[in-house]
Amino acid sequence: RPAASVRAPPGLASGAFVGSAAGAALLALALRPSGGPAAAEEVDLADLERRVANLEVEAGRGLHSAFVFIKPHAVYGKVKELAKQKFAESGIYVVSEGVIPAEVIDEKQLIDTHYGAIAAKAVKLKPESLTVQPKAQEAFQKAFGLSWSDALKKGLVFNAMDGAAKLGISPAELNPKWNLLKKDVNLLKFGGGFYCGKVHDIFIINGFYMSMRTKFTTPGTCIHYYEVEWNPRELAWADFREKVLGGTDPRTAAPGSLRNAIYRQWQELGLESCPNTGDNGCHASASPFEALAERTNWLGLPLARDYFGKAMLASGVPLAMLKAWCDDPAVNFEGKKQSLFDLLEDLDGAECLKKAAKIAECNK
């Protein structure tokens, strides 16, 4: 876990406290002297476990905790001051904050995990392990006069990271070449977040991702993160995203939101260029579940030790499924395959847990 400064939120019970309290209660019962008044009573472990689970669910329902970070292009003292000011006036407490250097982000592939399937195809997965649907293979054959299987056999297909190395260029230098490609000519869409382009004499998967990645992995830069908490009764998650953080496009984000403020004051704040939809100043978790996934990724906190992870487990989501969900898989729900992250986006903790339990039931 990266080094961080910590400030406990006054008057707000944390999930960690509730979880430890439940554990202490369980231990106290287990260690109760056999000769005491309760010796004659049988301890109903199933009932005790149920009560502990209820406590953990209530912790998840009663607290909102998000992961927020200032993007590398905006890590300046005045931006950090602005962020803390916005948190304070919104009733949001900073539990911890810290810096994660680009070198660590690169080495541990933190940004690749953050961007999920798009990044995995560009950096982690090899082309031969990818599932290319029959229609996409037909389009590949038509566009390039070569079957997908033959291209693989001849070693002509690379993920973006390996493709840049094959071409003898840096990942950042791949982006201008990718931008020259034309849709349905030498650039094909195989599926959602899944593209294949011909660069020189090789085929590259998701070549656009490398420029996104470089923004977080350039040596000497960093992100500045905050773990924040607030009372769900005072601020809905949707309002946290819309009114506190602001929409993706900082130009049209809600007036007074953090992203809009950074956009309007970018020169005064010390930024080198005007923010846009990519470089929009900061990121914040889109749901209580995504916050859990992000704390696990960026801070190395085990799922089962996180207060919302405990709540998800107690709600009926198995640990193996919970781990898989952090990669935003397509899940069965309401008769169709849907993005897990999309299904839970903007929900408050209570509703997120309730819906997650239903989704888990549909996918067991």
- The answer to pTM > 0.75 is yes
- Determine which of 27-36, 68-77, 160-169 has the lowest per-residue pLDDT on average: 27-36
Q: What is the pLDDT of residues 324-333, one digit of tens each?
A: 999 998 899 9
Instruction: Determine the straight-line distance between the first and last CA of the chain, rounded to whole angstroms.
Output: 32
What does the longest C-alpha to C-alpha distance in the chain come to?
A: 83
Predicted local confidence at residue 40, as pLDDT: 40
**CA–CA distance, 12 with 85 (Å, rounded to integer):** 19
Q: In which band, very low, low, confident or very high, does the pLDDT at 205 lie, cut at 50, 70 and 90? A: very high
pLDDT, tens digit, 9 for 90 and up, residues 183-203: 999 999 998 789 999 999 999
Q: Which domains does the chain have, with CATH numbers?
A: 60-97+219-362 (3.30.70.141), 110-213 (no CATH)
Does residue 15 have a pLDDT over 60? no
Percent of the chain with pLDDT strictly greater than 90:
75
pLDDT at 115 over 50: yes
List, for residues 212-248, the tens digit of each pLDDT value.
Answer: 899 999 999 999 999 999 999 999 999 999 999 999 9
Looking up tokens 């660069």, which residue turns up? 199
